Structures are given as structure tokens and as C-alpha cells.
């Protein structure tokens, strides 16, 4: 039988609020926020309000923190740890610097409290639906305890690594893809607009096909970024992706040139795609190019 933890939640914003509501529906949960309205909504959802962070700490075995920035995380942790029982857990859901997570974990360890960095992906819709991805860095045993307690809020909870900060490192890599993709989306929209294409309709096509193919994450199938050996199963798969991608990128860049549209990410993709996929072109002597 899994351990039943008393939960605390600090920070009831667009993501923290619905996430805490999911937790409160499954476990005893105490909440704190500077907004009285946010607290009232969680009380209506079944949570208990704490007057202070010290009060919340005394009622909690696992405290989730979902505030805006590193400085706020430091302030909340500092107020919590004198009042937490030995062996208590803190899960920081805010996206902070990996060094901040390591620093705060070391501080908590001095008080026999275990801190996990547990950033989340999925935004407000994911929080409302209980479909967040939660990437947890830190002690494996603490991860297992927290995973069961946080399950109502996230349907993908992964142990990113043994060190506090590993969850954040995974989240930063995930968000790098997210926002570079947004920048590439802007390039695609400029090209389509210059070509007289309705970019709202293009957006509908992109969302439709990404739902089928998986979008950018569809090629994240290997456990290494090293070059692929010719006898590896993935060699033919990724060679096909490379050849198709280079053809389509070349056509898109030719169209951009004819329309006078600058596509710096598109040009970089055309240059780097092969090596990035692990199937670089080679010359007759076998040297990569």
C-alpha cells in the first residue's frame, strides 16, 4: 500500500491553482497564496487554507511550490524549512536555474528535508486536465514517494536524474525545442504570407498533421545523439528523414529566395539536419561533410 502524504501547495496561479485542486480531490491538501481569492477557490475545491507558510509546513509531509522565479522559491523554502518535520519533502514546480535547485536542496538537507526540483510541462490546460508532465530531479526514494502523491496532477511523471537540478535541466531542453519551434513557426508564417497563403489555414494543417505524426518529438526515439552506424536499425529510418527533409527545405528556401523572404532558421536547418539526425553525408573517402 502506498504511503499517504499530507500535501501542501504554495502558489495558486494559472497552473498551480488547478494542479492543487487535482491534488486536493485525492489527498488532504493545505494551500497558501497571497491572493485571498485564489485560496478561496481551492477551499471550495476541498483544500484547507493556511494562514502562514509556517502553518502550512506543520500540516504537510510534501509541499509543492509553484511561484514565479528563483528569488520567490528561496523565500518560500526559507520560511518552510524551520517548521517541516524531519524527512519531509519539498517539490519545486517553478522553472528555476539548476544551480538554484542544487543550492536549495543543500540548504534543505541541513534540516533533514529533501528537496526535489519538479518542473512541469503542459501549461494551464494540462493542469486542468490532470495531464501534466512532471520532471523530477533528486533522490530516487524521494521521487518514488512524491510520484504517487503527485499522480492526480500528472499522467507522465519521470525521474530525470539523481541530482536536484536534473528535472530543471530536462525542462530547459524541452522548452528550448518549444520556443525554437515557435520561432520556426514565425518563419513558416512569413513564407506562407509572402506566397499569398492563408496562414490561419496553414495553422490548421500544422496542428492536424502534428497530431498524427507527433511533430518535432517524433524523432526523439534514440538514447544518444551520436552518429548512427550503417548497420543500426535507425540508420535507414533517419537517412530517409534526412533526404526528405533536405529536399523539402531546399524547395522552401528556393521559394523564399524568389519572394525575398529571409529564413535564417530554415537555412541553418538545411545545413545541420543531417548531422543532427546522426546520418551526416560522407565524401568518397568516408569523411563527414
Q: Cα dist. 68→75, 122, 136, 154 in Å?
A: 12, 16, 18, 20
Burial string for 171-203 (b: 16+ CB within 10 Å, else e) reads beeeeeeeeeeeebeebbbbbbeeeeeebeebe
Residues 47 and 74 sit within 8 Å (Cβ to Cβ): no
Kindly report the number of other CB atoms within 10 A of residue 66's CB atom.
Answer: 28
SS3 of 101, please?
helix
Pick from 30, 107, 52: nearest CA to 74:
107
Separation CA 62–CA 10 (nearest Å): 11
Q: Which of 147, 171, 201, 247 is labelled catalytic?
A: 171
- Cα 43 to Cα 21, 24, 34: the distances in Å are 9, 9, 14
Q: What span, in angstroms and rounded, lies between the C-alpha atoms of 137 and 134?
A: 10
Q: In whole angstroms, what is the distance from residue 162 CA to residue 255 CA? A: 48
Give me the residues paired with residue 133 across strands: 121, 156
For strands 120-121 and 114-117, give the pairing. Answer: unpaired
Question: What is the spatial distance between Cα 162 and Cα 139, in angstroms, rounded to a whole number?
Answer: 5
Nearest-angstrom CA–CA distance, 164 and 110: 15
**Contact between 90 and 108 (Cβ < 8 Å):** yes
Active-site residue 201, yes or no?
no
Query: Mind telling me the catalytic residues?
Result: 171
Amino acid at each position: 500500500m502506498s504511503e499517504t502524504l499530507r500535501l501542501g501547495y504554495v502558489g495558486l496561479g494559472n497552473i498551480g491553482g488547478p494542479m492543487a485542486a487535482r491534488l486536493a480531490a485525492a489527498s488532504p491538501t493545505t494551500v497558501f497564496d497571497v491572493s485571498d481569492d485564489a485560496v478561496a477557490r481551492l477551499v471550495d475545491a476541498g483544500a484547507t487554507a493556511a494562514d502562514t507558510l509556517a502553518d502550512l509546513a506543520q500540516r504537510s509531509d510534501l509541499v509543492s511550490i509553484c511561484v514565479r522565479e528563483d528569488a520567490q522559491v528561496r523565500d518560500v523554502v526559507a520560511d518552510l524549512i524551520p517548521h517541516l518535520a524531519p524527512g519531509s519533502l519539498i517539490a519545486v514546480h517553478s522553472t528555476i536555474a539548476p544551480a538554484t535547485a542544487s543550492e536549495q536542496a543543500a540548504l534543505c538537507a541541513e534540516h533533514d528535508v529533501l528537496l526535489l526540483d519538479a518542473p512541469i510541462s503542459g501549461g494551464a490546460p494540462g493542469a486542468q486536465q490532470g495531464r501534466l508532465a512532471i520532471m523530477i530531479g533528486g533522490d530516487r526514494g524521494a521521487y518514488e514517494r512524491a510520484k504517487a502523491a503527485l499522480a492526480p496532477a500528472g499522467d507522465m511523471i519521470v525521474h530525470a536524474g539523481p541530482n536536484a537540478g536534473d528535472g530543471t535541466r530536462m525542462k530547459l531542453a524541452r522548452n528550448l525545442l518549444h520556443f525554437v519551434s515557435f520561432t520556426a513557426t514565425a518563419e513558416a508564417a512569413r513564407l506562407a504570407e509572402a506566397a499569398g497563403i492563408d496562414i490561419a489555414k496553414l495553422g490548421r494543417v500544422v496542428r492536424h498533421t502534428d497530431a498524427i505524426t507527433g511533430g518535432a518529438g517524433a524523432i526523439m526515439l534514440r538514447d544518444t545523439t551520436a552518429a548512427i552506424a550503417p548497420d543500426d536499425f535507425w540508420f535507414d529510418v533517419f537517412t530517409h528523414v534526412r533526404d526528405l527533409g533536405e529536399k523539402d527545405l531546399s524547395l522552401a528556401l528556393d521559394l523564399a529566395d524568389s519572394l525575398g523572404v529571409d529564413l535564417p532558421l530554415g537555412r541553418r536547418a538545411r545545413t545541420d539536419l543531417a548531422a543532427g539526425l546522426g546520418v551526416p553525408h560522407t565524401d568518397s573517402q568516408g569523411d563527414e561533410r
